[in-house]
DNA sequence: TACTATATGGACCGTCAGTCAACTTGTCGA
DNA sequence: TCGACAAGTTGACTGACGGTCCATATAGTA
């Protein structure tokens, strides 16, 4: 069990990081500043989250949990039950929306991450997408196509599209792309 | 004009960077080490290339020039003359091959780069791909699809595929993807 | 209350990209 | 040939970073 003060600090650090990321440039959000903003010592931040990547991952995991649950056990078409093609479309709708709402946090995690393709979140998304593609169109190289489709969530592109308020193009573009590929 | 000693040092620095990138982990290739390996002072490296990004960009530009020329004025299907769909396929074959041969350098540039989507190389590739898609299939969101296809060149994915020696899957996967999309 | 596993904080460390002012050298016109 | 000067060189220095460490403090427990 985590001690009460530890839990309190964990929350304070996560909230402080969130806020710094929303109001500052990514490069300005150092671990020192996070600690200062959370009102704790720097050592506490590292003790709690291991390193910068761990902190950012924790933040991402918070925001991603609802989607993971919905995919694993929620109602169709996101959850089990619907045809693979519909589930795939629904998943990308949801994941693009998630990435849109949390670009800053996703970008911070991406930048702090040592191997994007091997972190648990990406791995689970990739496995999900691969399996849906395989069901819907067994002749395709599902593993590769999953990588290419998930590449659209890259923070570079998301930020670029957000700057001009065009994220709906990503949603509709991906939808039609998926439809075309699975036909 | 660049003085003779300056030109000599420029070459020495570029060759040293290349070699360090091939034989070391990306994180180990600091500007200090580059300077030492090239046998010049650190100040010289910065004087010549401005900053880390400038150095890596110069390295990438060297390797990319041949492709740019071939696209602009070489023989079809890469150069002008062939149908857009063939040019697109040929371009991705070439660019994947280029990225495969130069993963390390591309990764270093990507990492040093502040805005991936706004550097001159990416911009020119994106413009080229967008225009070909527009010619071949005017109803598509060419700009967006160009981004998604070019996303496959991300060093993360390239390194992942290279590790298991499966870059041919990228070539064939992209080819069939392009074919499907343009149909 | 007394004990201890857990948590805390911030000085400290090594490293990095980037700067700068004193110094050296290639180039070129006279 | 040579002197002048623009151009190039250098490495000590700066400030900031992520991460460590341990003396100190405290929450939970019996």
pLDDT tens-digit series, residues A94-147: 999 999 999 999 999 999 999 999 999 999 999 999 999 999 999 999 999 999
Contacting residues of A for B178, CB less than 8 Å apart: none
Tell which phi-psi region holds residue B81, choosing left (phi > 0), alpha (psi between -120 and 50) or beta: left
CA-CA distance, A140 to B156, in Å (whole number)?
Answer: 22
From first to last of the 183 residues of chain B, give the pLDDT tens digit. 899 999 999 999 999 999 999 999 999 999 999 999 999 999 999 999 999 999 999 999 999 999 999 999 999 999 999 999 999 999 999 999 999 999 999 999 999 999 999 999 999 999 999 999 999 999 999 999 999 999 999 999 999 999 999 999 999 999 999 999 998
Which one of A53, A107, A154 makes the best mutation probe of the B interface by having the most chain B beta carbons within 10 Å? A154
For the record, the structure tokens of A98 come out as 């998630």
Going by the DSSP 8-state scheme, the letter that residue B157 receives in this structure is H
Residue of B nearest to A169 (CA): B144
For the record, the structure tokens of B79 come out as 């150069």
CA-CA distance, B15 to B21, in Å (whole number)?
Answer: 10
CA-CA distance, A23 to A58, in Å (whole number)?
Answer: 19
Which pairs with CB-CB distance under 8 Å and at least 24 residues apart come from B126-134? B126/B150, B128/B71, B128/B91, B129/B88, B129/B91, B132/B84, B132/B85, B132/B87, B132/B88, B132/B91, B133/B84, B133/B88, B133/B182
Residue among A23, A145, A41 at smallest CA distance from A31: A41
Of A144, A156, A170, the CB nearest to B170: A144
Helices B84-101 and B52-73 cross at an angle (nearest 10°) of 150
Residue nearest to nucleotide D8 (CA to C1'): B6
Distance (Å) from the alpha carbon of B130 to chain A's nearest alpha carbon: 14
CA-CA distance, B56 to B63, in Å (whole number)?
Answer: 11
- The answer to whether A137 and A178 are in contact (CB under 8 A) is no
Of A115, A156, A173, the CB nearest to B145: A173
Distance A27 CA to D19 C1' (A): 17
Which pairs with CB-CB distance under 8 Å and at least 24 residues apart come from A167-171? A167/A96, A167/A100, A169/B141, A169/B144, A170/A96, A170/B144, A171/A92, A171/A93, A171/A96, A171/A97
CA-CA distance, B46 to A94, in Å (whole number)?
Answer: 45
**What is the rounded average pLDDT of the residues A20-34?**
98
Residue with tokens 């709402």: A101
């Amino acid at each position: 069990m985590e001690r009460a003060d530890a839990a309190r600090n964990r929350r304070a650090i996560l909230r402080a990081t969130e806020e710094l990321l929303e109001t500052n440039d990514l490069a300005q959000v150092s671990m020192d500043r996070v600690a200062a903003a959370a009102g704790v010592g720097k050592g506490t931040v590292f003790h709690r989250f291991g390193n910068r990547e761990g902190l950012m991952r924790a933040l991402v995991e918070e925001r991603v949990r609802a989607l993971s649950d919905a995919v694993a056990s929620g109602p169709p078409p996101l959850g089990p039950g619907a045809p693979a093609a519909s589930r795939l479309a629904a998943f990308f709708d949801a994941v693009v929306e998630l990435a849109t709402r949390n670009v800053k946090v996703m970008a911070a995690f991406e930048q702090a991450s040592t191997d994007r393709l091997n972190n648990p979140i990406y791995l689970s998304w990739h496995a999900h997408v691969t399996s849906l593609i395989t069901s819907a169109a067994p002749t395709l190289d599902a593993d590769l196509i999953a990588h290419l489709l998930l590449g659209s969530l890259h923070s570079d592109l998301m930020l670029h599209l957000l700057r001009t308020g065009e994220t709906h193009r990503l949603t509709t573009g991906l939808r039609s792309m998926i439809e075309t590929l699975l036909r």
